[in-house]
C-alpha cells in the first residue's frame, strides 16, 4: 500500500448522538477531516473535534448537475489521500446510503493502490424503523430510489412495506435551493402508487430529527393527498403494506407446518 489512506464514516443524524465510537476515533485522529453535513451545529462539532477540517459543501452550485458535484467531491478527497495524509471523509447519515462521492472516492483510492474502507453508520431508514415503529422483518421491506422506481417501473409486492427515497427530488439532476425540487415528479409518483393502492391508503412522509430537542417529521397522509403533503428534499416516503396474502398450503406441508387457521 502507498502512504495515504481513506476512511469514510457517517455522522448519523441528531448532531453527535448517532456517531459510533469507531467513527469518532477516526475523525478525531485524522490528519485531514473532510465532511458533508447539512446543519451548522454538526459542522461546528466536527470542527471542534479536529482542527484540520474542510467542508465539501461548496462543491454544490445552483443549476450544476449533481453528478459533476459528486465527482468533484471525490477528487477533492483523493487529492488529500495522494498527498500521503490519513484522510477521513464524514457524511451525514450512513456514508454508503445515497452518498455517491463516498463510493467514488473509495473505488478511486483502491484503484490507485491506497488503503480505503467504509465504516457503517445510521441511515434515515434506520431512524424510520425506530420512529415510525415497524419491523422490516415482519412483512418484508422494499426500498427504492424514487426516480429509479418510476423510470424502470420496478416490480414490488404491495403486501410488504415500501420505502421510497428522495421523493422530493424526483426527476431533478441539478442542485437547487428550494425545499421541494420536483413537484411534478411527486405527482407522477402519486399516480403510479394509486395504480396499486386505494386512494385512502395511508402513507407517511418522514424526515429524521436533526437535533435531540426536535422531533422527527412523521406526517401521515392518504395517497390521494400526497402532493399536498409537506415533502422536501430530505423526505423519505413509507407506504405500509396492504392486507397479507394467504400462505401456500403446499409449502406449509413441505415445511411440516400446521394448516393455516381458517384455511
User: Looking at the structure, do residues 15 and 77 belong to the same domain, yes or no?
Assistant: yes
Residue 206 appears among annotated catalytic residues? no
Domain boundary among 84, 118, 152: 118
How many independent structural domains does the chain possess? 2
Would 152 be classed as within a structural domain?
A: yes
Would 246 be classed as within a structural domain?
A: no
User: Looking at the structure, do residues 159 and 73 belong to the same domain, yes or no?
Assistant: no
User: Looking at the structure, do residues 171 and 91 belong to the same domain, yes or no?
Assistant: no
pLDDT digits 0-9 by tens, 30-75: 999 999 998 899 999 999 999 999 999 999 999 999 999 999 999 9
User: Looking at the structure, do residues 114 and 188 belong to the same domain, yes or no?
Assistant: no
Would 260 be classed as within a structural domain?
A: no
Would 86 be classed as within a structural domain?
A: yes
User: Looking at the structure, do residues 114 and 136 belong to the same domain, yes or no?
Assistant: no
**Mean of pLDDT values over 216-238:** 97
Would 43 be classed as within a structural domain?
A: yes
Check 66, 76, 82, 139 and give the catalytic one: 66
Would 259 be classed as within a structural domain?
A: no
pLDDT of residue 1: 65
Q: Report the predicted TM-score, pTM, of the whole model to 2 decimal places.
A: 0.91
Cell of 206: 418522514
Domain containing residue 80: CATH number: 3.40.1010.10
**Mean of pLDDT values over 80-95:** 97
Domain boundary among 102, 118, 134: 118
Domain containing residue 162: CATH number: 3.30.950.10
Would 172 be classed as within a structural domain?
A: yes
Residue 154 appears among annotated catalytic residues? no
User: Looking at the structure, do residues 70 and 128 belong to the same domain, yes or no?
Assistant: no
230: three-class secondary structure by DSSP:
coil
Check 32, 35, 86, 92 and give the catalytic one: 92
User: Looking at the structure, do residues 212 and 174 belong to the same domain, yes or no?
Assistant: yes
User: Looking at the structure, do residues 137 and 84 belong to the same domain, yes or no?
Assistant: no
**Mean of pLDDT values over 103-112:** 98
Q: Indicate if the pLDDT at residue 263 is higher than 50.
A: no
User: Looking at the structure, do residues 99 and 168 belong to the same domain, yes or no?
Assistant: no
Would 46 be classed as within a structural domain?
A: yes
pLDDT of residue 139: 95
pLDDT digits 0-9 by tens, 154-174: 999 999 999 999 999 999 999
What rounded mean pLDDT belongs to the chain?
95
CA dist., res. 162 & res. 139, Å (int): 10
213: three-class secondary structure by DSSP:
coil
% of the chain at pLDDT higher than 90: 90
User: Looking at the structure, do residues 129 and 27 belong to the same domain, yes or no?
Assistant: no
Q: Indicate if the pLDDT at residue 122 is higher than 90.
A: yes
User: Looking at the structure, do residues 92 and 132 belong to the same domain, yes or no?
Assistant: no
**Mean of pLDDT values over 115-143:** 96
Domain boundary among 118, 142, 170: 118
Check 32, 35, 70, 197 and give the catalytic one: 70
pLDDT of residue 5: 97
User: Looking at the structure, do residues 142 and 107 belong to the same domain, yes or no?
Assistant: no
Q: Give one DSSP letter per residue of 97-154, joined into a string.
A: SS-HHHHHHHHHHHHTT-EEEE-----HHHHHIIIII--HHHH-EEEEEHHHHHHTT-
Domain extent, residue 34, equals: 5-118
Residue 191 appears among annotated catalytic residues? no
**Mean of pLDDT values over 201-226:** 95
- 143-147, 206-210, 217-221: the lowest-pLDDT one: 206-210
The CA-based angle 43-44-48, given to 5 degrees, is 120
Amino acid at each position: 500500500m502507498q502512504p495515504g489512506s481513506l476512511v469514510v464514516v457517517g455522522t448519523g443524524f441528531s448532531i453527535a448522538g448517532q456517531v459510533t465510537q469507531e467513527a469518532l476515533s477516526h475523525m478525531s485522529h485524522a490528519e485531514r477531516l473532510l465532511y458533508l453535513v447539512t446543519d451548522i451545529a454538526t459542522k461546528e462539532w466536527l470542527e471542534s473535534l479536529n482542527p484540520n477540517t474542510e467542508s465539501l459543501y461548496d462543491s454544490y452550485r445552483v443549476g450544476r448537475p449533481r453528478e459533476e458535484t459528486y465527482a468533484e467531491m471525490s477528487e477533492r478527497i483523493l487529492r488529500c489521500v495522494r498527498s500521503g495524509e490519513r484522510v477521513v471523509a464524514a457524511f451525514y447519515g450512513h456514508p454508503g446510503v445515497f452518498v455517491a462521492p463516498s463510493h467514488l472516492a473509495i473505488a478511486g483510492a483502491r484503484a490507485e493502490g491506497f488503503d480505503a474502507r467504509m465504516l457503517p453508520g445510521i441511515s434515515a431508514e434506520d431512524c424510520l424503523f425506530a420512529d415510525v415503529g415497524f419491523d422490516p422483518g415482519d412483512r418484508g421491506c422494499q426500498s427504492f430510489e424514487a426516480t429509479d422506481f418510476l423510470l424502470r417501473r420496478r416490480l414490488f409486492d404491495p403486501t410488504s412495506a415500501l420505502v421510497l427515497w428522495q421523493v422530493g427530488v424526483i426527476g431533478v439532476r441539478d442542485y437547487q435551493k428550494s425545499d421541494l425540487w420536483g413537484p411534478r415528479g411527486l405527482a407522477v409518483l402519486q399516480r403510479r402508487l394509486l395504480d396499486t393502492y386505494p386512494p385512502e391508503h395511508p402513507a407517511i412522509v418522514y424526515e429524521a430529527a436533526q437535533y435531540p430537542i426536535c422531533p422527527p417529521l412523521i406526517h401521515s397522509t392518504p395517497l390521494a393527498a400526497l402532493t399536498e403533503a409537506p415533502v422536501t428534499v430530505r423526505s423519505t416516503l413509507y407506504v405500509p403494506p396492504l392486507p397479507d396474502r394467504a400462505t401456500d398450503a403446499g409449502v406449509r406441508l413441505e415445511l411440516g407446518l400446521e394448516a393455516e387457521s381458517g384455511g
